[in-house]
Structure 1
Amino acid sequence: MQPLAVSIGDPAGIGPEVIARSWEARDTAGLSPFVVAGAEAPLRAVWDGPIATISTLDQAAACFHAALPVLPVGELLDATPGQPTPAGAALAFAALEKAVALTLSGEAAAMVTAPVSKAELKAVGYTWPGQTEFVAERSGVAPDDAVMMLAGPHVRTVPVTIHIPLRQVPEALTTDLILRRAETTLRALRLDFGIAEPRLAVTGLNPHAGEDGHIGLEDQTIIAPAVEELRRRGWLAEGPLPADALFAPHIRTRYDAMLCMYHDQALIPVKALDFDQGVNMTLGLPIVRTSPDHGTAFNIAGRGVARPDAMIAALKMAAQCAARRAEAANR
């Protein structure tokens, strides 16, 4: 399998540190070879380990056991942890562009993105809401068809609506949107996670899933018809289910993923159960893309306290999903 392409993220954040520490754990964690798209300076600012500058991804496997392979994508001669700069944001942009291109061309098996600062990127001309939308556009996928999954050892969740005010969620929810998100999730559970008959739980929007219309009608009029249609199409889906009980251990283990109606309904369980090992995976793409489910953490960058667990989990998930796709393509 080809190596993974890892975009360095904002060089002033914890991305360089958790990438380097992941390479240190390559043997104990059983990581596949990966290449950092970025620059050497941000890594040197937080790490004194061995680095191999490469010009093609074919060189990565040969040196990965002895050094962290870095594919330069721009010139950044200096980086100070915790102090973001326009030059650093430009590097993050270039690294993301390179990682997408390498993965789309097949030179990389999958891509993993380290965290970026949206505010810093905006200042250098980045117009996409986040990395997900950029990767989707470059992959030829409409933004609404790129679905965010949060996955950890204990739970997988998918939010139907994401970065909108809570008061706008009921208006944004439609039966068709729920169906599209659900089927993208179910197909990914089959293809990327190897689950032959995936089981999907669909949460309600209101407390107690509306309590038969006494606490809101959206559960009956919007969500329930989507679940019924999923079943009609042959999928294993249940809902709308009360979200306050769904994530209890004896209930959540019945399902392979939970489709949630809004951002916090999906992210709170992942943050509570799998904070240090949470992975953000974009579903619905022709390529595999994962990311550690945390931000740049400028406040702790360079202090040696950032944990690499989520980056390690993102690297492992990307490699596993890419291998399953390759196996399916060769059948």
Structure 2
Amino acid sequence: MAYSESPLPLVLTMGEPAGIGPDVTLSAWMARYDRSLPAFYCLADPNLLKARAARLGLAVPIEIVSAADATRVFAHALPVVPLESKAFAEPGQPERSAAIGVIEAIARSVGDVRAGLASAIVTNPINKKVLVDAGFQHPGHTEFLGMLSAAWSGTAARPIMMLAGPGLRAVPATIHVPIAAVPGLLTEQLILHTARTVDQEMRRRFGIANPRIAVAGLNPHAGEGGVMGTEDDAVLRPAVARLRQEGIDAVGPLAPDTMFHPVARARYDVALCMYHDQALIPAKTIAFAETVNVTLGLPFVRTSPDHGTAFDIAGTGQADFSSLAAALRLADELARNEAGYVAEHAAARHMA
């Protein structure tokens, strides 16, 4: 078989049914051999996928399965584990009634990983407004998964977003907040927590033994000695010094306008940025179609394509599935790396 075989499949959530999630899911399955994709099953409304395949003229056989049968079925059909809720919408026409199914898919994906039915979670894009209008009380996927993680582990989780592409890994310390709120949210404790989590996950899931973390400044020229803002000297420099005392290879704060060109990126493994766009703009500029959203700080691997619902092209055949393919491959890689890391450290403890 041309696709990467794994003992457990990945679980892929349906995402917003009126968006391009169904389109890229169907296309990814059709390209499973060309893109060397791991086996996955989709938590979705089967009728949605059948209707979208017919609209796009894609000959994708869809087979309703249990998660345990997904890997066996994957070679000849797209395995779909049906939702209890109806989640159907015409392309480009979001339906508030479908929000329950979207939320159900996310929650069930976490349950499947916890039950040992899937190795990792890949989520298709959601539309936050549709979910909020239906009573969803979380800013997005990341925060909802953090709540589900806390319910799983019994401890509070503070999930962290990473944008991972072939030329850059970038982490925003603050995510879905207004830009005016960022300076007040940046504390030494937040930077320490974020960097420690990044360091741990780079070792555990990315297989990098000594990760190098470049901390971006908040202000132009990283404040230039307080002339352009005091946060870099008051918050970021002490945090970096503390991290280095702990043995974490962190540098900064660096001038944000000079840390994303190729020579600068070669000096670090991940950029720790201060706000959403500071991380996402360079990541999407460098490799938009291949960049993957990874959630760090969870007891399971979760990735997502780094694009939105794209209502304007849903159902037209124009959607590019490259980011979803990259998210599937990366989820499989991270899950395998983590399994190896856990086994290696368990063996070391046994030897000791």
Report if the CA contact (8 A) 1:178-1:226 is conserved. yes
Instruction: Report the Cα distance in structure 1 between the residues aligned to 2:121 and 2:88, rounded to whole angstroms.
Output: 25
- 1:91 corresponds to 2:101: yes
Query: How many residues were matched structurally?
Result: 331
* 1:307-322 equivalences in 2 (<5 Å): 307-322=320-335
Structure with more helix by fraction: 2
Aligned to 1:275: 288
Q: Which residue identity is paired with 1:21?
A: S
Aligned partner of residue 227 in structure 2, secondary structure: coil
Q: Which residue identity is paired with 2:285?
A: A
Range with greater deviation from structure 2 (134-143 or 62-71)? 134-143
- 1:10 corresponds to 2:16: yes
Instruction: Report the Cα distance in structure 2 between the residues aligned to 1:161 and 1:261, rounded to whole angstroms.
Output: 6
Please give the root-mean-square deviation of Cα atoms over the aligned residues, in Å: 1.5
Aligned to 1:56: 66
Range with greater deviation from structure 2 (303-312 or 42-51)? 42-51
- 1:218 corresponds to 2:224: no
> Deviation per CA, 1:246-276, whole angstroms, max 9, x where unpaired?
0010011111000001111111101111111
Aligned partner of residue 307 in structure 1, secondary structure: coil
> Deviation per CA, 1:169-210, whole angstroms, max 9, x where unpaired?
111111110010011111111111100000000011110111
Aligned to 1:39: 45
Report if the CA contact (8 A) 2:87-2:98 is conserved. no
Shift of 1:96: 1.1
Report if the CA contact (8 A) 1:38-1:74 is conserved. no
> Deviation per CA, 1:215-238, whole angstroms, max 9, x where unpaired?
111111100001001100001111
Q: Which residue identity is paired with 2:10?
A: L
Report if the CA contact (8 A) 1:149-1:158 is conserved. yes
Of the three residues 162, 167, 179, the one matched with 1:149 is 162
Cα pair distance change 1:75/1:162, threshold 3 Å: closer
Q: Which residue identity is paired with 1:264?
A: D
Aligned partner of residue 27 in structure 2, secondary structure: helix
Q: Which residue identity is paired with 2:233?
A: Q
Q: Which residue identity is paired with 1:23?
A: W
Shift of 1:146: 0.5
Of the three residues 97, 114, 119, the one matched with 1:104 is 114
Shift of 1:119: 1.2
Cα pair distance change 1:26/1:170, threshold 3 Å: same
Instruction: Report the Cα distance in structure 2 between the residues aligned to 1:136 and 1:53, rounded to whole angstroms.
Output: 31
Instruction: Report the Cα distance in structure 2 between the residues aligned to 1:118 and 1:78, rounded to whole angstroms.
Output: 17
Instruction: Report the Cα distance in structure 1 between the residues aligned to 2:24 and 2:239, rounded to whole angstroms.
Output: 40
Instruction: Report the Cα distance in structure 1 between the residues aligned to 2:184 and 2:146, rounded to whole angstroms.
Output: 25
- Structure 2 length normalisation: TM-score? 0.91
Range with greater deviation from structure 2 (131-140 or 231-240)? 131-140
Report if the CA contact (8 A) 1:10-1:91 is conserved. no
Aligned to 2:175: 162
Aligned to 2:79: 69
Instruction: Report the Cα distance in structure 2 between the residues aligned to 1:248 and 1:291, rounded to whole angstroms.
Output: 25
Aligned partner of residue 330 in structure 1, secondary structure: helix
Shift of 1:130: 0.9
Aligned partner of residue 187 in structure 1, secondary structure: helix
Of the three residues 267, 274, 279, the one matched with 1:266 is 279
Report if the CA contact (8 A) 1:45-1:79 is conserved. no
Aligned to 1:130: 140
Report if the CA contact (8 A) 1:12-1:88 is conserved. no
Shift of 1:103: 1.2
Instruction: Report the Cα distance in structure 2 between the residues aligned to 1:77 and 1:232, rounded to whole angstroms.
Output: 51
Report if the CA contact (8 A) 2:99-2:134 is conserved. yes
Aligned to 1:298: 311
> Deviation per CA, 1:77-130, whole angstroms, max 9, x where unpaired?
853111111232222111111111101222110000101111111232221111
Cα pair distance change 1:163/1:19, threshold 3 Å: same
- 1:139 corresponds to 2:152: no
- 1:196 corresponds to 2:244: no
Aligned to 2:349: none
Q: Which residue identity is paired with 2:173?
A: V
Report if the CA contact (8 A) 1:45-1:302 is conserved. no
Q: Which residue identity is paired with 1:151?
A: A
Aligned to 1:26: 32
Report if the CA contact (8 A) 2:85-2:104 is conserved. no
Q: Which residue identity is paired with 2:92?
A: G
Q: Which residue identity is paired with 2:142?
A: T
